[in-house]
Structure formats: C-alpha cells, structure tokens
Amino acid sequence: MTDKRIDEATNTETMGHEWDGIEELNTPLPRWWLYTFYACIAFAVGYAVVYPSVPLIHEGTHGSFGWTSRGEYAAEKKAEAAQRAPMLAALAKTPIEDLPKNPDLTRQAVAGGRAAFKVNCVQCHGAGAAGSVGYPNLNDDDWLWGGSLTDIQQTLTHGIRYPGDDQTRTSLMPSFGHDKILTPAQVQDAASFVRSLSGLEPKGAAAQRGAEIFATNCVACHGPDAKGGRQFGAPNLTDRIWLYGGSREQVVGSITNAHAGVMPAWGQRLDPVTIKMLAAYVHSLGGGEAFAAPTPVAK
C-alpha cells in the first residue's frame, strides 16, 4: 500500500497507492507554481498584520496602520464636504431672489434640496412631494402662502402655525359648526355653495342660501370671489384642488371643525443654506412661481 515505486513508462515516482490496478503518479508541481503559492501565503500573513483581521473577544486586531473602514468613510466624508464647500459658500452669499441668475448654482441647490427633502420633508409631503389629505401637494400650481422662492423660503424657515416662532405664518379658521356659529343646516348650505364654486354640484337653492352665509362669514379671509388670500393662507375655494378633500362630507367637516395644519419652523433645525436648497428644490417641482413679478395678493 505505501510502497513507493518508480513507474517505468514515465520514469515518475508513484504516490504509493492504487485502486483496481490504477496508480497515481507523483507528478511534481512546477517550481514557479509552488513559489506563487508560498507568495500568496506570505501575502495573506502580511495582510493580516497590516489590516484589522483577527476577531478577539471585545474587538479585533487593529492592524499596523490603524486602518478602519469607518476611518476611511470619515475621510471620504471630509473630502466630500471639502468639495462641496465652495458651492455652499456661494449659496450662502447669494440672496435667494438672485438664484435664477445663476443656473449652475441653482442646479446644485436643487440637487442638495432633493437630498434634504428626502430626510426632512417626505414624512408629511411624501417622497414625490405630492402630499396627501391635509398635507399640501408641492408639485401643483396652488399655493396657500405663495410659491415664489422667497415665499417658500419664508414658509420653510418659520413654519406654519408653529409655536415658538414669532414670525411663523399663522391664521385660524373658526370652527363654524363645532363652536355653534352656524347651525348644521347652514353648514350644509355653505358646503353646497362652496362645492358649486368649482362645479362639483349645481347652483341650487341650497347653494343660493349658502352664498349669503358665505358673504357674512367667510369673505373676510377667502375673499368676496372665494379665491382665497395669501396673507391668511386662505385656500382658493373656486379651483379644483382640495387640501382636505372636496366630497360633501369632507367640506362639511372642514366648515364644522376647521383645519389648521402645522409645519415646523425649519429655521430652528436646519441651517439657512439647506433651507435655501430646499426652497430651490420645492420651487423646481413644476409649480414654482416667478421671482421677478411681485406676488399678487388677493384682498
């Protein structure tokens, strides 16, 4: 079994075992192959010494250079921040109304804003900024408080009805039903009128009665033509966009209980440059309003 012998045909030593008469030749490896193999072992040992590799009880070996993937990540982050610094500096210097004069900077601001939006805003406004019931859609052409860059920046910085910010945008719709300013029947009539404004139901007798109720109670904020007003963030009631829904039930609910959405004053959490970038991003979503023309304010 273990008797090595020389195979006559090939003049090669055998491995000393055989199966059914077949013997294995001890064909030598080429020397270069063996040396390559040894070199690989040496490399592996060197690698284990240089890099963190051996797991111990609480932590692993540190490697001779102290390299860590976290350290590398931190260095990359630092390099990235250094690369972005000039852009951020330029953005800090540029008043937001001058942004459109610099398309390059705007593009970068929009990209930065997109990232900041994903972190801070999607929770309420959704990943595509399309909002949902009670949370405004930022893509459309309807703005409660104004859709120019400066308006958006102001909203972002100070929030809406946000306690603790004395410049926050604020307004309060009375709870007409809940506080018994209007009777339930009057609320129904007012709802009929409001729905008829955007063609959701015909202008019947109820709507006629509702028009009178509207003239007494609602024009102060929503305006005589019901087109809303931006100084109060009062929604335009004649268009097809409903922040809290346009079904009869939803409109009646809005008049009865009133809604007062709150948005945080992001100026307390984010730096002015990030807010500028967010404003540029929101403005770029397709509904942004012109910078130059002053925003017409409905009385």
Partner 1 sequence: MVSLNPQGQPTRKQRPLPSALKPKPQSGLYEKKQPVFPRKIDGRFRRLKWGVMAVCLAIYYLTPWLRWNRGPYAPDQAVLIDLAHRRFYMFSIEIWPQEFYFVAGLLIMAGIGLFLVTSAVGRAWCGYACPQTVWTDLFQHIDRWFDGDRNAQIRLANAPWTAGKLARRLSKWSLYLLVNVATGGAWIFYFADAPTLAHQVFTGTAPAIAYSTIAVLAGTTLWLGGFMREQVCVYMCPWPRIQSAMLDEKSLIVTYKDWRGEPRGKSSGGDCVDCNLCAAVCPTGIDIRDGAQIGCITCALCIDACDGVMAKTGRPRGLIDYATLEDSEKERAGAPPTSHAKLIWHARTLIYLGLWSAIGCALLFALGTREHLAISVAKDRNPPFMLMSDGAIRNAYLVKWRNMEDRPRPMRLTLDGIPGARMWSEEMGKAQATRQLTRTIPADQTEPLRIYVIAPAGTAQQPLGFTLTATDAQGGTVRYDTRFDAPEGGQ
Binding site for partner 1 (CB under 8 A): 9-13, 26-34, 126-130, 137, 139-142, 236, 239-241, 284, 286, 290
d(CA 161, CA 171): 7
Which residue number, 4 or 178, has a Cβ lying nearer to partner 1? Answer: 4
Q: DSSP readout, 158-195? A: H-BS-TT-TT-B------TTTTTSS-HHHHHHHHHHHH
φ, ψ of residue 166 to 5 degrees: the values are: -75, -10
Smallest separation, CB 286 to partner 1 (Å): 6
> By the 8 A CB rule, do 50 and 65 touch?
yes
Token code pair at residue 290: 């012109």
Q: What is the DSSP letter of 296?
A: P
Which residue number, 15 or 215, has a Cβ lying nearer to partner 1? Answer: 15
Smallest separation, CB 28 to partner 1 (Å): 4
d(CA 26, CA 244): 85
Which residue number, 97 or 212, has a Cβ lying nearer to partner 1? Answer: 97
Smallest separation, CB 267 to partner 1 (Å): 28
Residue with tokens 């008043």: 95
Which residue number, 8 or 166, has a Cβ lying nearer to partner 1? Answer: 8
Smallest separation, CB 296 to partner 1 (Å): 15
φ, ψ of residue 9 to 5 degrees: the values are: -65, -40
Which residue number, 116 or 285, has a Cβ lying nearer to partner 1? Answer: 285
Smallest separation, CB 45 to partner 1 (Å): 20
Using alpha carbons, select from 237, 240, 203 the residue that is nearest to residue 221: 237
Smallest separation, CB 227 to partner 1 (Å): 10
Q: How many residues make up the chain in this entry?
A: 299
Smallest separation, CB 140 to partner 1 (Å): 5
> By the 8 A CB rule, do 68 and 52 touch?
yes
Which residue number, 178 or 240, has a Cβ lying nearer to partner 1? Answer: 240
> By the 8 A CB rule, do 113 and 279 touch?
yes
Smallest separation, CB 213 to partner 1 (Å): 24
Query: Diameter of the chain by CA atoms?
Result: 119
> By the 8 A CB rule, do 91 and 109 touch?
yes
CB atoms within 10 A of CB 88: 18
Q: 287 — alpha (psi -120 to 50), left (phi > 0) or beta?
A: alpha
